[in-house]
Structure 1
């Protein structure tokens, strides 16, 4: 014993009691809501003004804009004043959604696609910038709890957004959903100053660039963690595409995919809260090596059973593992990068997640043309395991050569 008083036990109450943190979570929910609403809302908009194909094109263009813009916009959050960058990003996103809603019935698809790309790219750095500020303004012993609460909030948004889009669409049409998204984007601008944040001096930014925190250097440092993000979201994208045909293949209604995915969302909310409520033994590397194979295995189960209740159980198991993996991913990134590069790093993970999700859709669609949904689930689970294995191998190799600044944080260990 050294006599030094240990940190108090992490708790969500302690996180929310930190100055401004309730405001952070409120702003984060409003920032995430239009992003999660966008795919379904844009499909409805395309159908109402042109066709379902046009809607799919708009949704894809928005996702491409996010993936393309995230590293650049995330870097701006690291090198520019936080409040100014947040206001610029959210104002541009809100304006783009509002313009789309107003001109959708009178504009060509090409113009709408350009605006959806702008909306996706403009705010693509905001989630990473916000997460970097959450970590920077939370004591180290409370970061897992803060990130666990963020993961639960994110999954709650994913559970709420699609029904909200459907409700608004039935009452006011697709343009109404886009206006709700615009309002949600702009709302945090009203209380942005109250979001807890730290501002870096120009000297700190210059020092960061001089010590190798440029975007290219960051990519070289965090590629194993980014590949883990690809693996996790690849499996989620697989599930979204393959679940309805797997249900139909077994004589069940494809509409049951909704309740099954709800089970996933609820389980992930619970596990995010449980994981963040205490400290767990092992490093992020060790925890990932344990949980990722189980995560892939949960989504391999639909290859052998297609009964709705069995699928619900498999997806609930996947949800229980999903949130801890996402929190571990975020903690691992903080261990690999100095604080002045966190926003860029988190934005790289955001882009990688989009790449994984999109690749899953393409592969799943191709597999459905040549195989059964059950076999497609198995193939995609194996692909996830391979990507995860490469990620873990890269983590083991690169962490031995990481700079001291990037690995100065201690591992996540249980403290009694």
Structure 2
């Protein structure tokens, strides 16, 4: 297996469109904070707008992603991205608008393109051979982590150096440009809905809940570290300005981890790989909570990011095993919503813990909760759902019901043609 197998004009066009669709997502939370920071109660209002944006993402990913169909993917994605671009443009052009107006714009900017990550991932799947799916997912993760490493610096530079609304106007332009780029990609992907045997989409999604739980736990763990990091630096009497470089190191570690994961086939089932990576990430962050110097914090966060990439990739690959092809785009969108919900819960948990305990204790408490969620999700994958019938696998096999009710091979791969 090699990354050369996925290099083509189609995947390069997909990457260009993905940058336009995903860069605004990475820019948005910080951009809305800078947009209103000079208003009365600016930082508080900025935090509220960022939260509304994330809620919009969660709602849009869950509701719109569940309604996405392979044969109508292009127009659905185009409308969502186009409306999202309008939401971003309105935010950037109306910095002095009433808070309620800004909140509506933020919700639209987050919610309208909510199905785009899942739909774009499904399009990527249709562009590469089945045997190269791990490399394709790894390359996508590298691209996403690079975007998240660049976005904060771009937002800060533009907002402070030029104008507070400029990052949001740039986000609108990028998302708008991604719309015509969709016509460089396939109109959709092959998906015969007969593989669902008439089962409602909601029930199929519900069967994969253990994957969503462990996926959300993985990102919420690092989200907790990100949100508590400034307070932890103050506790260690380290300059809070080190937060930026340390978080950039975490993102770079994740990008490197994604690349390394795609270089070879790793031993063990995906479930086992995910569990090992999650426990290792938890260990890294538990150590970060007690490390005394910035240098050691940088090492701990980089290692956590490196291992977290493997955890998230195994979760996305597991969805391909447990869902029928026609439900993959919806599954990816629900995973995106679950991750967003995990991030939001982590933010609330961080705020609550910091008001009653030290930053290091807050991180350790978050690590403990994440380990519990990881074990719950993993054990649920091992145990077949009651009455699942032939679609579930017992005896330590995959254990998650295959959405189409198809039999599953001993390796955990659905025994039906992949689209």
Runs of 5+ in structure 1 lacking a partner?
1-9
Q: Distance in 2 between matches of 1:49 and 1:378?
A: 36
Q: Distance in 1 between matches of 2:200 and 2:319?
A: 13
Instruction: Tell me the equivalent position of 1:174.
Output: 164
Do 1:300 and 1:377's aligned partners in 2 also have CA atoms closer than 8 Å?
yes
**Residue 338 to residue 209, structure 1, CA distance change in 2 (3 Å):** closer
Once the 2 structures are TM-superposed, how far is the Cα of residue 363 of structure 1 from its aligned partner?
1.0
Q: Distance in 2 between matches of 1:339 and 1:268?
A: 28
1:82 has 2:70 as partner: no
Trace 1:237-252 onto structure 2 (pairs within 5 A). 237-252=223-238
Encode CA deviations 1:34-87: one digit per residue, 9 max, x unaligned.
001000000111224452111111111000011112121112323651110111
Do 1:234 and 1:360's aligned partners in 2 also have CA atoms closer than 8 Å?
yes
Instruction: Tell me the equivalent position of 2:131.
Output: 141
Instruction: Tell me the equivalent position of 2:256.
Output: 270
Q: What SS is found at the alignment partner of 1:280?
A: coil
Q: Distance in 2 between matches of 1:78 and 1:395?
A: 27
Do 2:122 and 2:189's aligned partners in 1 also have CA atoms closer than 8 Å?
no
1:319 has 2:299 as partner: no
TM-score (norm 1): 0.91
Aligned length: 397
Instruction: Tell me the equivalent position of 2:353.
Output: 367
Do 1:98 and 1:178's aligned partners in 2 also have CA atoms closer than 8 Å?
yes
Encode CA deviations 1:131-190: one digit per residue, 9 max, x unaligned.
112123321110000000111111001100000001111233121111100001011122
Q: Distance in 1 between matches of 2:170 and 2:376?
A: 41
Runs of 5+ in structure 2 lacking a partner?
385-391, 394-399, 414-419
Q: Distance in 1 between matches of 2:93 and 2:230?
A: 34
Instruction: Tell me the equivalent position of 1:259.
Output: 245
1:131 has 2:121 as partner: yes
Do 1:29 and 1:157's aligned partners in 2 also have CA atoms closer than 8 Å?
yes
Q: Which moved more, 1:19-28 or 1:62-71?
A: 19-28
Do 1:298 and 1:314's aligned partners in 2 also have CA atoms closer than 8 Å?
yes
TM-score (norm 2): 0.90
Q: Distance in 1 between matches of 2:380 and 2:282?
A: 19
Instruction: Tell me the equivalent position of 1:38.
Output: 28
Do 2:123 and 2:189's aligned partners in 1 also have CA atoms closer than 8 Å?
no
Once the 2 structures are TM-superposed, how far is the Cα of residue 33 of structure 1 from its aligned partner?
0.3
Q: What SS is found at the alignment partner of 2:267?
A: coil
Instruction: Tell me the equivalent position of 2:401.
Output: 402
Instruction: Tell me the equivalent position of 2:199.
Output: 212
Q: Distance in 1 between matches of 2:205 and 2:99?
A: 34
Do 1:335 and 1:406's aligned partners in 2 also have CA atoms closer than 8 Å?
no
**Residue 152 to residue 96, structure 1, CA distance change in 2 (3 Å):** same
Q: Distance in 1 between matches of 2:85 and 2:308?
A: 30
Q: Distance in 2 between matches of 1:408 and 1:42?
A: 46
Instruction: Tell me the equivalent position of 2:331.
Output: 345
Greater helix proportion: 1
Q: What RMSD, in angstroms, separates the aligned Cα atoms of the two structures? A: 1.9
**Residue 211 to residue 306, structure 1, CA distance change in 2 (3 Å):** farther
1:28 has 2:27 as partner: no
Q: Distance in 1 between matches of 2:172 and 2:35?
A: 14
